[in-house]
Structure 1
């Protein structure tokens, strides 16, 4: 069976997972340090999540750009969102001010990329699901 991966959906899922980790996890799991588990404000985990979003998102957007729509708008939105995630790490005191627009920009970039892939008109339209 040949399954196609929808990279935009995977990118959106990764971005939302990052947002959930950053926004909700501290509220529900604030007792984890008592048990020796530290994933809240763990710099390594945070950077890993940002890099994961960067790698998956970059591949997804590149695929859409190269094979379908040739628009730079999704890249610009995505790059701004990723930059805000790194700002969140650098200025941790203001993390929620960076996090919300970062996630909105990254999800918007994937949604626009997905939409642009769907409206193109060429012979390899079945490639959009990769």
Structure 2
């Protein structure tokens, strides 16, 4: 069996997981601090999620740019998204205003990378992201 990972899909999934964490966790798991667990306002957890999105996204977008489409546009969107995510952790009072555009930028970056890989790799369209 030849198993290949679609890194753009994985990047989108990690971005969505981060958005779900930021949006839903405070609503449904507000009792965790009562038990000594605080992942809602835990900056280390936040930075860990951002680092995961950064590593996966950088690998995916670098591979797409270098091997397929040679465009910096997806990386620009991704960089803006990561900067906004870091800003969200630093400036808590702007959290929602920074989270929404950051997730949109990161997902847009992966979508652009995916589309550009497909359009510039007609002969070997299954090779993109592998």
> How would you bin the TM-score normalised by the shorter chain?
over 0.9
RMSD value, Cα: 1.2
1:98 aligned onto 2:98: yes
Name structure 1 gaps, 5 residues minimum: none
Aligned to 1:73: 73
Note the alpha carbon deviations across 1:33-67, whole angstroms, 9 max, x for none: 11222111111100000010000000000010011
Q: CA deviation at 1:126?
A: 3.0
Mean Cα deviation higher: 116-125 or 62-71 = 116-125
Count of paired positions: 130
Aligned to 1:15: 15
Normalised to the residue count of structure 2, the TM-score between the two structures is 0.95
Alignment of 1:1-130 (within 5 A): 1-121=1-121, 123-130=123-130
Whole-angstrom distance in 2 between the partners of 1:122 and 1:76: 24
Please tell me whether the aligned partners of residues 8 and 113 of structure 2 are also in contact (alpha carbons under 8 angstroms). yes
Secondary structure in 1 matching 2:41 = coil
Whole-angstrom distance in 2 between the partners of 1:121 and 1:129: 11
Q: CA deviation at 1:125?
A: 3.5
Whole-angstrom distance in 1 between the partners of 2:126 and 2:108: 23
Please tell me whether the aligned partners of residues 63 and 129 of structure 2 are also in contact (alpha carbons under 8 angstroms). no
Normalised to the residue count of structure 1, the TM-score between the two structures is 0.95
